Structure 1
Amino acid sequence: MSAAVMLLYLLFSCITSKADEVTNFPISLSSSLTPSINSTWLSHSNEFSFGFYHTPNGYAVCVSFTAYFDRSRTVVWTANTNDPIVPDNVVMLLTEDGLVLKRTDSSETVIKIGNSSRPIGGAAMLNNGNFVLLDYLGIVMWQTFDHPTDCLVPGQFLSPGTQLFSHASETDLRKGMFRLKMQTDGNLVLYDSDSLDVPKDAYYATGTVGKGDNISLNLEIIEDVAFVRVANSSTATGSPLPFGRKWRHFNLPLLLGVSLGTAGLLVSLLVIIYCTRRRRRWHKENRQNIDKLLLKHGSLAPKRYSCKQVKKMTKCFRDKLGQGGFGVVYKGELPDGQLVAVKVLKETHDNADEFINEVASISRTSHVNIVNLLGFCSEKKRRALVYEYMPNKSLDKFIYKSCSLEWKKLYEVAVGVARGLEYLHRGCNTRIVHFDIKPQNILLDKDFCPKISDFGLSKLCMKKHSVISMLGTRGTVGYIAPEVFSRNFGVVSHKSDVYSCGIMLLHMVESKYVEKGSSGSSETCNLDRVYEHVLVQREREDDLMSEDEEESARRMLMLGFWCIQTFPMERPTMSKVVEMLEGKLQSIEIPPRPFLLSSPLQQISSFISCNSSTCTNWDSDSHPTPCSSLVGSRDTTQLQGWCQ
């Protein structure tokens, strides 16, 4: 950027200039122009013209430059940039009051160009691109150089307090999105057109504040050859003379090279401006969404915490509880002593929608089987969610091997999850589809009451609209319903959660069989075998199970197979699942064999492997991380922005 500033400094030297002396009146009073006939007044060199310029939208009054190598016209000044287009039926007259545009059919004045305290005696289009109005003594009373629009021409300067505005486009001569202002404090600053002249709204500045109120921006070219100030390298000591001591001429190829370099620099600058503006707009929209959420829920909205408060409640993120695809969960404590779990989301722009989605979704819920959101934090890219603390962590720690639950408690957990999903689908004012039901997202409190958590992928829809419009696939591999992968299986709806719940029920039962089975071989992991021998032939899978345990297992298996039916219309609703879980086993019919059941369970879902010494925590990409490695560890990359 320093090189860019130096190049601009060399090209746009802060020097002053004056207009060409005018000794005669090339354009006399009563001279006129029309859009179609004698539409311009030319300079003596024929390089500049003043008059009507044709655009795709109509005619505008402009000063334009005619390049000698292709005879094209380039606009360097535009009258009335707020609304530059004039009617076709106008005539422009040079009067003592200045230039006046009137309609030919009604003599109505359209616009007036040039205000003067003395009568105008004539006008001239000068060779340097300056159009001037003169009194009868030949003194310049008004000139376009004093009112720059989108560019500077050789000899013109941007005086303190004046500014350049970009055009809306190459063919639209109205004011565009950006402006370059020569401030009275000596600083040259690039702003958004609609912004205020305050430092926080500046995209680029020369940093010359305090250099005086007589600083101006000027590009000077003498004899259509470019001059830049260079250091004198011929001194005896080898040190350069003061800047501007010597002038050197540059030929046309070098001039073109400098021009192309400047154009590339400006393109890069515009890209930076665009990215910066987009990022600011993103932050603004994010703040607005949060404010709307808080305003909508009023006193029932979750509390908003600052980054400093989050760091304090987690003791600077000391105790790590787990890690998932969207962030890391830490143990914390509120000032009143209440324990909390703080999920710190990754510092990227991509998860902003997931964050707003989760806050909005949970703010709509109030159920014993839905995790309670106590508060959140949102400061620029740093975001966190504060939940009630679940001392028994997640269900995946208790359905395998050494951490297993008793059949009765496991069955109660299944009923609680089903009730929570039923509430999301039917009990809320707005239906919520979770899209990520799995054991890792089922938290257990001190009494092993299950609570559904992690609403980052959820979708909201009205109750009467069961079909959800969704681009892409969301969820965890192994728990995603077939229709989410491919619409050939059906439409995406709340039945997609039913499929995920069914896979989880089968996992819960399968884990008990693996625990009590003697071999623990892959045969017990085959859904075809479980379906055929346990459900169809009603064989006992384990002789050590009591009659009540066998009934609970068979009920969960039957409901699991009902829930994972390939086509959504064949699956029950969560209300029906709750009814069958709490009803009699004899009332449940044997489900049809799912169409996608011809592969082992580990090909349908992602197993969570355990052994006696360590339990593994799986993220949303199904990559295991030993739980022992998470305790007391800190992800410094994740927390880099929080701990500064």
Structure 2
Amino acid sequence: MYGGCMLTPFQKQKKKKDHETLIIVISVLLSFLVLVILVLVGAMYFGFSFNRKKIKSSKTNNGVIEKNLRNFTFKELVEATGNFSEELGRRSFSIVYKGTIDMTSLAVKKLDKLFRDNDREFQTEMNVIGQTHHRNLVRLLGYCNEGQHRILVYEFMSNGTLASFLFTPLKANWRQRFEIASGIARGLVYLHEECCTQIIHCDIKPQNILLDDQYNARISDFGLAKLLLINQSHTETGIRETKGYVAPDWFRSSPITTKVDTYSFGVLLLEIICCRRNTRRLDILLENDDEAVKNIKSFEKFVMIALWCIHEDPTLRPTMKKVLLMLEGIVEVLIPPNPYLYGSAS
């Protein structure tokens, strides 16, 4: 019966089709709803899992670095250094001693335990250099973190610092100067562009460049280094860099980028090519330097590169990658735009 009347065969068939259509629509909607719920649940699960792994990874990162390094006892290092008797160098808040373990020479950097930031610098240096591996970076072999003692153990560089090599009456030959400058540039390119975490050294100077048996340059002393995350282009930090090598950016409350290292490298490059300490007087760069005079074309090119690097405007300074390409003659060196020049040596 339909409205008090018998349904015709046509009406029965239509009603059946409408019922089937309704069932299909409801089934599709339910299936879609289930699919949406599954996608949301899956996204929440994988997102939680990713974040948990990320957190776990960041927590265990120090542990991984420590596992790759030897954990020395203080007693071992006292014996290795003869009770810290042979001093190799001295910094503001640390002293480096020579040591020997298993017939291998070591450089043992002992941080001043009275320095309030020694824990932070110890961890920074361990975290930075512990995750790097490059022929132009000094290699960290181990550490001691026992009681008040914060000590870092490095491979020994037999030819000392670049400062002790450059600033002597006997000038290095031109090839050595070029190789040293190129080596430092390669090391900085690695820190800025090739590490999994971008690293700004923040203290490039001749005292922090060591020379191995073959006079290859090795960047050292990462206590002031800054780590940048993948999505980070700059950092905010206080100044502790060495006078004369400090980029103007530090004094303007500007964000600190890799260009501060470019600036310091520019100052250092002028020192390398003329074997003079921190001078930017172009009129005396060639004074009493037969090596530079014999290689005047290269000399002029390197001076222009250095002037690009020490430009006051960080946006006009080249990246260290471009600096390296200019040093190697792959990229043309243009005349620097109004470089900032000092009237006298610092």
Same fold (TM over 0.5): yes
Report the counterpart of residue 590 of structure 1 in structure 2.
335
Q: How does 1:310-325 map to 2 (within 5 A)?
A: 310-325=77-92
Name the counterpart of 1:393. 160
3-state DSSP class of the match of 1:398?
A: helix
Q: Is the contact made by 2:270 and 2:280 (CA closer than 8 Å) also made in structure 1?
A: no
1:601 maps to 345
Of structures 1 and 2, the one scoring higher in RCO (CA 8 A, sep 6+) is: 2
- Deviation (angstroms), 1:492: 1.2
TM-score of the two chains, using structure 1 as the length reference: 0.42
Tell me what 2:63 maps to: 295
User: Structure 1 residue 342 and structure 2 residue 87: aligned?
Assistant: no
C-alpha distance in 2 between matches for 1:458 and 1:476: 13
Residues 467-494 of structure 1: CA deviation (Å, up to 9, x unaligned)? 1122x2121111111011222xx43101
Segments of 5+ residues of structure 2 without an aligned counterpart are 1-58
Q: Which residue of 2 aligns with 1:561?
A: 307
Provide the rounded CA distance (Å) in 2 between the counterparts of 1:476 and 1:298. Answer: 30
**Number of residue pairs matched?**
287
8 Å Cα contact 1:365-1:428 kept in structure 2? yes
Give distance in 1, aligned partners of 2:326 and 2:235: 26
Q: Which residue of 1 aligns with 2:263?
A: 499
Contact 2:198 2:227 in 1 (8 A): yes
Shift of 1:556: 1.9
**Cα distance between partner residues in 1 of 2:242 and 2:197:** 24
Normalized per residue, the structure richer in helix is 2
Distance (Å, rounded) in 1 between the aligned partners of 2:312 and 2:290: 33
Q: Per-residue CA shift, 1:364-412, capped at 9, x if unaligned?
A: 1000000000001111221111000001000001112335311110110
CA offsets 1:41-89 (integer angstroms, 9 cap, x no match): xxxxxxxxxxxxxxxxxxxxxxxxxxxxxxxxxxxxxxxxxxxxxxxxx
Tell me by how many angstroms 1:545 deviates. 4.2
Match of 2:246 in 1: 480
For the pair 1:306 / 2:70, whether they are aligned, the reply is no
Q: Is the 8 A contact 2:118 2:150 kept in 1?
A: no
SS at match of 1:507: helix
Q: Distance in 2 between matches of 1:482 and 1:546?
A: 29
Partner Cα distance (2:324, 2:196) in 1: 20
Q: Which residue of 1 aligns with 2:275?
A: 511
Match of 1:451 in 2: 218
Of 79, 97, 102 in structure 2, the residue corresponding to residue 330 of structure 1 is: 97
Any idea what SS the aligned residue of 1:492 has? coil
Kindly indicate whether the alpha-carbon contact (under 8 Å) linking 2:173 and 2:291 is maintained by their aligned counterparts in 1.
no
| Mapped partners of 1:350, 1:525: distance in 2 | 32
Change (3 A) 1:367 1:526: closer
Given that residues 474 and 484 in structure 1 are in contact (C-alpha distance below 8 angstroms), is that contact kept between their aligned partners in structure 2? no
Q: 1:511 to 1:570 in 2, by over 3 A?
A: same
How far has the Cα of 1:440 moved from its partner? 0.3
Distance 1:525 1:503, change over 3 A: closer
Aligned to 2:281: 527
1:393–1:444 CA contact under 8 A, matched in 2: yes
CA distance in 2, matches of 1:447, 1:594: 35
Summarize the alignment of residues 535-554 of structure 1 with structure 2, pairs less than 5 Å apart: 544-545=290-291, 549-554=295-300
SS at the partner of 2:239?
A: coil
Partner of 1:579: 325
The residue type paired with residue 295 of structure 1 is G
* Post-superposition offset of 1:293: 4.9
**SS state at 1:366 partner:** coil
Matched, 1:419 2:164: no
Structure 1 counterpart SS, 2:295: helix
Code of the aligned partner of 2:245: Y
Q: Which residue identity does 2:152 align to in structure 1?
A: L
Q: Which has the higher strand share?
A: 1
Query: Deviation at 1:302?
Result: 1.3
CA distance in 1: counterparts of 2:282 and 2:211, whole angstroms: 31
SS at match of 2:166: coil
CA contact (8 A) 1:345 1:384 kept: yes
Mapped partners of 2:280, 2:321: distance in 1: 28
Q: Distance in 2 between matches of 1:433 and 1:498?
A: 10
SS at 2:106 equivalent: strand
CA distance in 2, matches of 1:578, 1:315: 42
Alpha-carbon deviations, 1:545-595, whole Å to 9, x = none? 47762233222211111100001101000000010000168x211112324
Q: 1:406 to 1:498 in 2, by over 3 A?
A: same
Q: Which residue type is aligned with residue 345 of structure 1?
A: L
Contact 2:65-2:127 at 8 Å conserved across structures = no
Alpha-carbon contact 1:314-1:332 (below 8 Å) kept: yes
Please name the residue that 1:237 is paired with. none
- Which structure has the larger Rg over C-alpha atoms? 1
| 2:144 is the alignment partner of 1:377 | yes
* 8 Å Cα contact 2:250-2:256 kept in structure 1: yes
Q: CA deviation at 1:319?
A: 1.0
Render the CA deviation track for 1:593-635: whole Å, top value 9, x for unaligned.
Answer: 324x243131xxxxxxxxxxxxxxxxxxxxxxxxxxxxxxxxx
Describe the shift of the 1:545–1:337 C-alpha distance in structure 2 as closer, same or farther (beyond 3 A): closer
C-alpha distance in 2 between matches for 1:307 and 1:314? 11
Distance, in Å, in 1 between the alignment partners of 2:229 and 2:140 is 22
Amino acid at match of 1:411: F
> Is this contact kept in 1: 2:310–2:339, CA < 8 A?
yes
Contact 1:528 / 1:600 at 8 angstroms: preserved in 2? Answer: no
Aligned residue runs from structure 1 range 71-150, under 5 A? none
Matches of 2:199 and 2:280 in 1, distance apart? 33
Cα pair distance change 1:294/1:552, threshold 3 Å: same
The percentage of counterpart residues that share the same residue type is: 39
Closer/same/farther in 2, CA of residues 309 and 582 from structure 1, 3 Å limit: same
Return the offset for 1:505: 0.6
Using the alignment, how far apart are the partners of 1:588 and 1:548 within structure 2? 20
Distance 1:312 1:546, change over 3 A: closer
Tell whether the 8 Å contact from 1:330 to 1:343 is kept in structure 2 after alignment: yes
The alpha carbon displacement at 1:342 in A equals 0.3
Alignment of 1:591-630 (within 5 A): 591-595=336-340, 597-602=341-346
